[in-house]
């Protein structure tokens, strides 16, 4: 299954949303997708069921981020009617991705790109949507570290058929250069538009989306 991204432009995903106010502000700023981090090991952790009422009303693509989740947890999250896609952001192998895909929601598989070997089998994860993030030992995103664009270009050369989601150290000041350099399908930001972990800065979100739109035009 695929994700219906906007045609003809770079989509913006704002991840690490923890509250309705930030979600509404992100949408007003122009975000196409919002990400909700279900991993307890982050300050951006959210229990989706506790926020179902307002998440269900958001008029964008809603992505639940999972890190090395059990099959039961993945199945439960996939069954939530207000979640549109799953983002597997841990060390999930191809078998785990296949099992997750069988639950019926589109997948995004995140790869922490340490070297070219990191994405050698990127086309075997039961999804065409691959997110490249920076490799930081012991961390699963949201670090503010930037992915090596040399590796991103190598990924694009090896896997031109895949949909590239770019994350890792993006912020309003550098995202335009990233879009021009890499031309991803989606840019994904979390810490780069925050006041503190889990609390978004509305002005930064507006500036981030504006920079993406200007660079891609």
Active site annotation includes 93:
no
Reading phi first (left if > 0) and then psi (alpha if -120 to 50, else beta), residue 136 is in beta
Yes or no: say if 87 and 35 are a contact pair by the CB < 8 Å rule.
Answer: yes
Q: Does residue 15 carry a catalytic annotation?
A: yes
With H, G, I as helix, E, B as strand and everything else as coil, classify residue 108. strand
**DSSP assignment of 18-70, as one string?**
-SHHHHHHHHHHT-SEEEEE--TTSTTB--GGGGHHHHTT-SSEEEEEESS--
Q: Indicate which residue of 22, 32, 133, 188 is catalytic.
A: 133
Give CA–CA dist 44/27, Å, rounded: 18
Pairing, β 194-196 against β 199-200: antiparallel
CA pair distance 23, 175, nearest whole angstrom: 20
Q: What is the DSSP string of 152-201?
A: HHHHHHH-TTSEEEE-SS--TTTHHHHHHHH--SEEEESGGGEEETTEE-
Name the active-site residue from 15, 32, 97, 188: 15
The catalytic site residues sit at 15, 133
């Amino acid at each position: 299954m695929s994700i219906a991204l906007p045609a003809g432009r770079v989509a913006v995903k704002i991840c690490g949303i923890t509250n309705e106010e930030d979600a509404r502000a992100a949408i007003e700023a122009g975000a196409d997708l919002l990400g909700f981090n279900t991993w307890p090991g982050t300050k951006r952790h959210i229990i989706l069921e506790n926020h179902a009422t307002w998440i269900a009303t958001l008029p964008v693509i809603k992505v639940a981020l999972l890190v090395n989740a059990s099959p039961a947890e993945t199945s439960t999250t996939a069954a939530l009617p207000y979640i549109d896609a799953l983002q597997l952001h841990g060390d999930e192998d191809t078998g785990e991705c296949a099992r997750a895909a069988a639950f019926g929601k589109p997948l995004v598989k995140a790869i922490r790109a340490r070297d070219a070997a990191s994405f050698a089998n990127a086309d075997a994860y039961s999804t065409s949507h691959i997110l490249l993030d920076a490799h930081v030992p012991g961390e699963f995103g949201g670090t503010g570290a930037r992915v090596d664009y040399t590796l991103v270009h190598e990924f694009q050369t090896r896997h031109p058929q895949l949909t590239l989601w770019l994350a890792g150290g993006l912020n309003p000041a550098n995202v335009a250069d990233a879009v021009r350099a890499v031309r991803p399908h989606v840019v994904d930001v979390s810490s780069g538009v925050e006041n503190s972990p889990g609390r978004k800065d509305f002005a930064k979100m507006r500036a981030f989306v504006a920079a993406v739109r200007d660079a891609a035009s």
